[in-house]
Structure 1
Amino acid sequence: MHTRLLAAAIAVALPLAPVPAAAAPIAASLTAPLVAPLSLLADAGTVTPAQASGARKPVQDRAQGLLKAGNPDSAAELLAEEASKRSDPVLHLDAADAYKTAGVKNKSKADLTSGIEEAKIGLDILYFLQDPRCDPDWQLVDSSEVSAEIRRGEKLVEDSEKAITDLDTKVEAPPPVEEDKGRKKAPRDGRGYIAVGSLLTLVGVGGLGIMGAGLATGASAQKDIDTLADSLKNGSIMQAQFDSEKTAIDDKGKRGNVLTYAGIGVGAVGLAAGIALLVVGIKKRKQYRAEHGGASDSPSAMLLPALGRDSAGLVLSGRF
């Protein structure tokens, strides 16, 4: 059917003669009906690339709308029908592209095969347009664009054939991954809660330490300013010295306030979250041990005092 339509569409103003080597592709791909007289469209008048492009654009726009709507089947049928009516190689290639999209989407070898047929018809016409005996008044595609359209058609054929091969190839499922039976899963005995809770508790204790340091710094600054004020009052120092030393003492007091407020925030959050997680973890550990029996590697944590010559604090130790 496609061959008869193509034979009815090609018109040249030259007498029939053997096709030269430049037209070999069309001679190899078309069958017997093409040897009929090629004057069937002799009365069709001049067809320029601009006229052909303007005539195909509404069809392409309608097809593009169908493609955007997720309906490549209808787009392919529309393009193929209009391409046959007009013998337009560009529309034939557009139809091949739409059929390829439908074939991949529907996993349909029939659609892919139809796309290959449309592409080959378009290629036949494009090869003919390259023949020097082609009627110069019948030019559906600009001569500068013919080669690019031929490459597009060949690529469509190649991609569609590959898609058919992919459909014929059964993809083997990867072997199931065997679970490593030698790896022991961590018991759900609350040790994670205890570990995190202990860490947050330690952070909270550290915050309290920062708060203590801030309070001590603030108290020291207050003591210094009181001593400095007494020295000014009894005349031991002058006002200029007082003002100079007061600035440094004020900065020390501000640092103490910053440390105090930061320590309060860190300590409150750390202790609140840490103690809550410790409670949950210890509860889960007791429940786990009640269900599975005691275990020597059960997590444990201890908070101990730490005293030094110039420091005092708490030390968290444990096994998780």
Structure 2
Amino acid sequence: MIAHSTPRPAERRPVLRLAATLLVVTLPTTTLPLPAHAAEAVTPARASGVRKVVQDRAKPMMSSDPGGAAELLAGEAKKTKDPVLFIDAGEAYLAEGVAERDKAALTAAIEHASIGLDIAAFQQDPRCDPEWQHLDAGEFDREIARGKQVIEDSEKAIADLDKPVEAAPEVEEKKPDKGTPRDGRGLIAGGSLMTVVGVGGLAMIGAGLALSAKAQKDVEALDPSVIDFDAQFQDIDKKGKNANVVAYAGIGVAAVGLGVGIALLALGIKKRKAYRAEHGASETAGVHVTPALGYGYGGISLGGRF
């Protein structure tokens, strides 16, 4: 007997399907390594060229706006890390602080000068990158001395601002000596003296004009045909010029003497009147000045009761 087996239906086996998932990880840019860039070497010559451009911009501002110059220099110093510009900024802040009596500006001067000194000293250290040098060896001592001077001057200016303001000593009014008259007689005496000087100036004017006129007549009377005409002319011309000098000098003397003298007389008479009124005196004071001019002379007539 032949046994027949009943065929089983085909077994369904599960098909395993894997879905590939792509995992993308995004890192912040700050965590990524930066590509290496070759930094440009900072040499004293290159630094000097960049520095000069900044200094030329700041120089015109130092006299009119030292605060603006300080901000300009400080900003460029922070960009370039140039110790010289830091010290320049310190000098500008010092100028502003002294001019404005501003302690904050003086403090900024010390701060910037100190930074400049620190950078300059660090660059002289053998461990510093030789391709980051703003100063030649010959410039180092000069800039160090300049930075220290800025700090010293700023500290002194701050100390001066902190000093208490002392009150000005009272000036004791000098009391008049006993017996010294306060009735204007001194002013009248001085005014009289200066008026006399002014009268002398008027006399000089008159004399100078007279001599000058005489010289002119003598020149006109000369006979050109005489042998010594030139010598006579020069002699008379010299006398005429001297006479003019006397007249011009007299104008100055008269102006000063009469101007001051008459002013003193007027003031003295005013005080004299006030003094007499205060003490009950009935006598009044007065003065009159009358010009007295004529051909060949000049003067004034002074009169009054004091």
Aligned ranges for residues 264-283 of structure 1 at < 5 Å?
Answer: none
Q: Tell me how far 1:145 sits from its aligned partner.
A: 0.8
Quick one: which of 52, 55, 61 aligns to 2:50?
A: 55
| AA partner of residue 118 (structure 1) | H
Q: Tell me how far 1:267 sits from its aligned partner.
A: 8.5
SS in 2 for 1:53: helix
| AA partner of residue 59 (structure 2) | Q
Q: Does 1:77 align with 2:71?
A: yes
SS in 2 for 1:187: helix
2:101 maps to 107
TM-aligned CA distance change 1:140 to 1:249, over 3 Å: closer
Q: Does 1:87 align with 2:81?
A: yes
Q: Tell me how far 1:91 sits from its aligned partner.
A: 1.2
1-side partners of 2:109 and 2:248: how far apart? Answer: 72
Task: Encode CA deviations 1:289-318: one digit per residue, 9 max, x unaligned.
Answer: 8935468xx999xx9xxxxxxxxxxxx9x9
TM-aligned CA distance change 1:250 to 1:77, over 3 Å: closer
Task: Encode CA deviations 1:230-273: one digit per residue, 9 max, x unaligned.
Answer: xxxxxxxxxxxxx9xx87899889978987997799689979x9
2:25 maps to none
2:134 maps to 140
SS in 1 for 2:155: helix
Aligned ranges for residues 249-288 of structure 1 at < 5 Å?
Answer: 288=269
Q: Tell me how far 1:43 sits from its aligned partner.
A: 5.0
2-side partners of 1:51 and 1:257: how far apart? Answer: 75
Asked if the contact 1:47–1:140 (Cα under 8 Å) also holds between the matched residues in 2, the reply is yes
1:191 maps to 192
| AA partner of residue 200 (structure 2) | L
Asked if the contact 1:72–1:99 (Cα under 8 Å) also holds between the matched residues in 2, the reply is yes
| AA partner of residue 195 (structure 1) | V
Aligned ranges for residues 161-240 of structure 1 at < 5 Å?
Answer: 161-182=155-176, 186-188=186-188, 191-192=192-193, 194-200=195-201, 202-203=203-204
Asked if the contact 1:83–1:92 (Cα under 8 Å) also holds between the matched residues in 2, the reply is yes
Quick one: which of 131, 153, 160 aligns to 1:159?
A: 153
TM-aligned CA distance change 1:202 to 1:46, over 3 Å: closer
Asked if the contact 1:194–1:299 (Cα under 8 Å) also holds between the matched residues in 2, the reply is no
2-side partners of 1:75 and 1:109: how far apart? Answer: 17
1-side partners of 2:269 and 2:52: how far apart? Answer: 74
1-side partners of 2:42 and 2:241: how far apart? Answer: 87
Q: Tell me how far 1:66 sits from its aligned partner.
A: 3.1
2-side partners of 1:269 and 1:96: how far apart? Answer: 58
| AA partner of residue 47 (structure 2) | A
Greater helix proportion: 1
Task: Encode CA deviations 1:53-73: one digit per residue, 9 max, x unaligned.
Answer: 2222322223224334x2222
1:67 maps to 62
2-side partners of 1:268 and 1:123: how far apart? Answer: 67
**TM-score, length-normalised on structure 1?**
0.54
Q: Tell me how far 1:131 sits from its aligned partner.
A: 1.5
Q: Tell me how far 1:123 sits from its aligned partner.
A: 0.7
| AA partner of residue 53 (structure 1) | S
Q: How many residues align?
A: 237
Identity of aligned residues (%): 40
Q: Structure 1: state its 5+ residue gaps.
A: 1-40, 223-242, 304-315
**Larger of the two Rg values belongs to structure:** 2
TM-aligned CA distance change 1:140 to 1:181, over 3 Å: same
TM-aligned CA distance change 1:86 to 1:195, over 3 Å: same
TM-aligned CA distance change 1:127 to 1:252, over 3 Å: closer
| AA partner of residue 81 (structure 2) | S
| AA partner of residue 59 (structure 1) | V
Task: Encode CA deviations 1:195-217: one digit per residue, 9 max, x unaligned.
Answer: 23442355467669969x99xx9
TM-aligned CA distance change 1:299 to 1:135, over 3 Å: same
2-side partners of 1:103 and 1:128: how far apart? Answer: 28
